[in-house]
Structure 1
Amino acid sequence: MPDELLDIAHGDPRLARQVETMLRDLAKDGSPLMREMAQGVLDGGSLRQAAISDAYGEEVSAAFGDFWSKYQAMSPEEQAELGEVAEAALRGETTEA
């Protein structure tokens, strides 16, 4: 696991593994641009640099904007449920939908 991921995760190895897993998923199933960015990070590039670069920053920003719009449209109960699912994933637990 790249040291930068552990740094981004504030030293939490579980969270760093989740970030790495998400990068692996993006490298496999993301848009062509996100696959390229994720593979570059997995190959030793900087996630921070990739996220703010002219090449990838716009697509990363757009994806986050889409997520944030959907999150804000959720009810407080839905937001709490999403938080519970995320916490369970960090603990390595599976949840039923």
Structure 2
Amino acid sequence: MAQRQPAVYIMASAERGTLYIGITGNLKFRVWQHREGLGGGFTKRYDVKRLVWFEHHADFPAAITGEKQLKKWTRAWKLQLIETANPTRHELWEHLQD
């Protein structure tokens, strides 16, 4: 079994579109699930398929704390975070390591 690497991530439906914030132990697999529309829910309903930001954490408690803090941010702050780290808002999924 692959080692789990906790990560907080932001997915988007389009540039300045709907945002989704999540946490996972296997970022590449989880983003693949979103892209394929598996599991239903929010990301499937709003066609949220583009990974635009992510941050790895040392452990799950730190990742959970980071996710909770990020979810409290205003939309403008979230967009600024994305634009600072990913100015062209290109799809990051293809750049993830296996």
TM over 0.5: no
Q: Report which of the two has the higher share of helix.
A: 1
With the length of structure 2 as denominator, give the TM-score of the two structures: 0.31
Provide TM-score, normalisation by structure 1: 0.32
Tell me which of the two structures has the higher relative contact order, counting C-alpha pairs closer than 8 angstroms and 6 or more residues apart: 2
Q: Tell me which structure has the larger Cα radius of gyration.
A: 1
Structure richer in strand, relative to its length: 2
